[in-house]
């Protein structure tokens, strides 16, 4: 039993040292400002690209699974609240501000960005037309399904279905699915079918 405990403690210490080493290496290579309440758990590969005026703020107990990447440009701010976990290959792009308030789960291959390319002028290449931007807030206790794309706000307690594209604000405690994402159900309330007078199967 003592040998098992020593082995377990050794693994915990090694894990903490590993996280410290990875985080220190990331901070030394980053141009922007990083404020962290606690060293996050990082599973490589992990990519963080920041402009000199950019800021990253992390709460406690933030977990990044392999393949996470973020681009924080200009004076952009990315704030990730406590108890937030990102599954594999998530990407966040920030030019203004993206706030994730915490206690949330992000499925594999989720994209969050506050900017969309302009394309209205056919005489100018799209990449030269600049961006339309908006600040994005994702509330507390949110679950975002695999491959979803978030380009607007998500309220507290909301669930975003896999592959959904959030182009309009999603209210709190809503389940939103589809492209573009539409609210199909209110957690603790009626779903879309019952609100229209339809019958729900009991099977």
pLDDT at 56 over 80: yes
Confidence category of residue 12, pLDDT binned at 50, 70, 90:
very low
Over range 158-180, report the average pLDDT. 97
Radius of gyration for the chain, computed over Cα atoms and rounded to the nearest angstrom: 20
* Helix, coil or strand: residue 120: coil
**Going by C-beta distance under 8 Å and a sequence separation of 6 or more, which residues neighbour residue 188?**
173
pLDDT at 28 over 50: yes
> Using an 8 Å Cβ cutoff, are 42 and 23 in contact?
yes
Domain ranges of the chain: 2-117+125-195
> Using an 8 Å Cβ cutoff, are 159 and 142 in contact?
yes
Over range 114-141, report the average pLDDT. 88
Over range 10-21, report the average pLDDT. 67
Peptide bond connecting 74 to the previous residue in cis, omega within 30 degrees of 0: no
| pLDDT at 177 (0 to 100) | 98
Q: Residue 128: left (phi > 0), alpha (psi -120 to 50), or beta? A: alpha
| pLDDT at 13 (0 to 100) | 54
Mean pLDDT of the chain: 87
Per residue in 75-110, pLDDT tens?
A: 999 999 999 999 999 999 999 999 999 999 999 999
pLDDT at 4 over 60: no
**Going by C-beta distance under 8 Å and a sequence separation of 6 or more, which residues neighbour residue 6?**
none
pLDDT at 47 over 80: yes
| pLDDT at 14 (0 to 100) | 56
Q: What angle do CA 146, 152, 154 make, to 5 degrees?
A: 65
Question: Homologous superfamily of 2-117+125-195 in CATH?
Answer: Hexapeptide repeat proteins (2.160.10.10)
| pLDDT at 1 (0 to 100) | 58
pLDDT at 199 over 70: no
Q: In what order do the strands lie in the sheet with 111-113?
A: 46-50, 68-72, 91-94, 111-113, 149-150, 165-166
| pLDDT at 194 (0 to 100) | 44
Q: What is the model's pTM?
A: 0.83
């Amino acid at each position: 039993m003592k040998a098992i405990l020593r082995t377990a403690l050794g693994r915990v210490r090694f894990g903490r040292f590993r996280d410290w080493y990875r985080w220190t290496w990331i901070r030394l290579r980053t141009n922007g400002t990083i404020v962290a309440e606690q060293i996050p758990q990082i599973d490589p590969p992990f990519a963080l690209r920041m402009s000199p005026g950019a800021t990253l703020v992390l709460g406690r107990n933030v977990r990044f699974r392999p393949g996470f990447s973020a681009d924080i440009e200009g004076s952009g701010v990315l704030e990730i609240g406590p108890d937030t976990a990102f599954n594999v290959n998530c990407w966040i792009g920030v030019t203004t501000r993206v706030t994730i308030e915490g206690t949330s789960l992000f499925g594999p291959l989720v994209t969050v960005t506050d900017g969309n390319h302009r394309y209205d002028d056919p005489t100018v290449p799209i990449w030269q037309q600049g961006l339309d931007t908006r600040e994005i807030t994702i509330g507390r206790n949110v679950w975002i399904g695999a491959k979803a794309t978030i380009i607007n706000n998500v309220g507290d307690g909301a669930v975003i279905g896999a592959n959904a594209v959030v182009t309009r604000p999603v209210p709190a405690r809503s389940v939103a699915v589809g492209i573009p994402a539409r609210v199909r159900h209110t957690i603790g309330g009626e779903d879309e079918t019952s609100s229209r007078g339809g019958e729900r199967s009991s099977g």
